[in-house]
Amino acid sequence: MPLHSPSRSKRRWRLVARGVFALLTVLALWAFAFEPASLRVRETALTLERWPSELDGLRVAVLADLHTGSPWNGTKSLARVVRETNDARPDLVLIAGDLVIQGVVGGRFVSPEVSGEILSGLEARLGVFAVLGNHDWWLDGPRVIRALEASGVTVLEDSSAAIPFRGDTLWLAGVSDYWEAPHDIGRALSAVPPTSAPLVFTHNPDVFPEMPRRVALTIAGHTHGGQVALPGVGRPIVPSVYGERYASGHVREYGRDLFVSTGVGTSILPVRFRVPPEVHVLTLRSPPR
């Protein structure tokens, strides 16, 4: 009698096939349901070469790519984002564009007015500021601006604000979207004193190579971290001309600093794998003297 009968081999292959199917099912559920529906607040401390000592310890919450209405990410989820951001007690909140969605599979359009009403609950002693993303412009940029400003959010499109902090001044500048707006850095920084090291935020990180060295930190979103990060492979799709170079997190390049948020919602496909939805809270530190 043979050591391995055909029937035993068939049973073995059936078990393997069932195991593979079960694994793929779990991975699909994780990527299309569990992870996109999750949310975490990630605390990150950044020591910046040009960050003023007078502003040391500033806490900045970054909300990027909210895409309210994407699957698992409706108005209740946005209210959760607001609650958990407030619980982190940031000094400043920055909304880095893409409040709305268009065309995401399984999504439902939520108006910027409805989202803005929920965002009005954000609390930060130095204020809540926003720039627009490409999806906001594709919908109706002026409409999104009106909805945000009606909710108490200050929109900085190629403009800046001087914010009193600890007897000093924090200069904050917003640069408009790289794809759909002028993204005029010179105009955004025109009111900032040349001796100051401003904090700049924008939607698309592809504008970063154009940032002057005097900018202490640039904050962006847009990439969603690729939404999928495969072990040993990387991020197959990142909406950037630079590929994975500015996909997520802290990037230090030529003496300049960039932080890219992986965002909250999803776009096009409602999938996240090893790139969970995140609210980032950055603690900005000046270098040791």
Instruction: Measure the CA–CA gap between 37 and 74, rounded to whole angstroms.
Output: 10
pTM, two decimals, is: 0.92
- Does pLDDT of 2 surpass 70? no
* Model pLDDT for residues 76-92, shown as the tens digit of each residue: 999 999 999 999 999 99
Instruction: Measure the CA–CA gap between 227 and 48, rounded to whole angstroms.
Output: 27
Cβ-contact 276, 38 below 8 angstroms: yes
Domains along the chain with CATH numbers: 38-285 (3.60.21.10)
- Does pLDDT of 225 surpass 60? yes
pLDDT of residue 30: 54
Instruction: Measure the CA–CA gap between 217 and 201, rounded to whole angstroms.
Output: 8
**Cβ-based neighbours of 205, under 8 Å, separated by 6 or more:** 218, 220, 221, 222, 223, 240, 242, 246, 258, 260
Question: Which residues does residue 73 pair with via DSSP β-bridges, in sequence order?
Answer: 70
Q: CB count, 10 Å around CB of 125?
A: 10
What is the side-by-side strand order in the sheet with 40-47?
40-47, 278-285, 58-63, 92-96, 128-131, 154-155
* Model pLDDT for residues 23-65, shown as the tens digit of each residue: 445 555 656 777 888 999 999 999 999 999 999 999 999 999 9
